[in-house]
Amino acid sequence: MRRVFGGVEGGGTKFKLLIGTDPHDIVAQAQIPTTTPDETLERVIAFFRRPDIELAAVGCASFGPIDLDTRSPTYGCITTTPKPGWAYTNVVRTLGSELGVPVAWETDTAGAALGEYTWGAGRHIEVLVYVTVGTGIGGAVLINGRPVHGLLHAEMGHVLVPVADGDTFAGICPYHGQCLEGMASGPALRARTGRPGETIAPDDPIWDLEAAYLGAGLHQIGYVLSPQKIIVGGGVPQTPHLLEKIRRQVTSLNHGYLAHPALSGGIRDYIVPPGLGADAGVIGALELARQSLQSHADQVRP
């Protein structure tokens, strides 16, 4: 019987599921809609209960905010989400008790970052940032392949960005108004133009404004943390030429201050698309599962 890992990427609209050991060894995969917690988690559990595999551990990379503090009574929960029924759903406890295996737990962006670090565009990068721009804007920091949690987890999608001259858009973030997510997420783009981003022509001038904000956000992240690479995932950056415009903005905002090739001629290797595309999160969840066994082994080693 094959010894394999389970990967779960829990999203607000769908859950992606994977059984395997790495992106080149996938036993099964599926996608289910996110409905009620009970129904959704039951379908997750049913997917992993197969007679032909020995499930060693499950990794779960989840939408948030989530509780990552292993000492907290609500560890393993999605916390203050407005999504009906999901607030304080304990995903880790439910999956762990039903499947009888260790369950590793991370944010969706940290899962994607881990996938990219292990098999994608972030291999061997000591200080790696993964940013996703879609329904929201989020990000994760990996140092030598380990997610940095700190106080809670990074909220780099909500950094402040200077409002462009003449831009009167008030921003849609209910907390911060004109923060990066408020000005440049998918829903912000839609609120600004009246239509979804994927229907806006790639040569529409709105993309210059979008790149100005996203570039300012990456500039902030770069200056605070000095990452060696920033991977930009999510739906919005798939717009043709947008990533190139973002790179130009980051170079321009540096004004030659940081004298490193990554900020000038080497910027195409500094700000990059994900190597694993939209599957980085669920693939990273496999690695999460593998690491959880490793840390368990480290702990029990005498």
**What is the contact surface with its own copies in residues (CB under 8 A)?**
65, 79-80, 126-127, 139, 141, 143, 148-156, 158-163, 175-176, 216, 219-228, 253-260, 262, 270
Give me the phi and psi of 22, to 5 degrees please: -165, 175
Nearer to its own copies, 40 or 89 (CB): 89
Minimum Å distance from CB 114 to its own copies?
16
Three-state DSSP at 105 gives strand
Which strands sit side by side in the sheet containing 14-22, from one edge to the other?
25-33, 14-22, 2-10, 53-62, 103-107
Minimum Å distance from CB 181 to its own copies?
10
Q: What's the chain's Rg over C-alpha atoms? A: 20
Nearer to its own copies, 16 or 219 (CB): 219
* Torsion 279-280-285-291 (CA) sign: positive
Nearer to its own copies, 23 or 64 (CB): 64
Minimum Å distance from CB 217 to its own copies?
9
Q: In the numeric block, which tokens belong to residue 75?
A: 């560890």
Dihedral (Cα; 238, 244, 248, 249), 10-degree rounding? -10
Give me the phi and psi of 59, to 5 degrees please: -110, 135
Task: Name beta bridge partners: 77.
Answer: 90
Minimum Å distance from CB 251 to its own copies?
13
Nearer to its own copies, 53 or 156 (CB): 156
Nearer to its own copies, 223 or 244 (CB): 223
Minimum Å distance from CB 226 to its own copies?
3
How many residues comprise the chain?
302
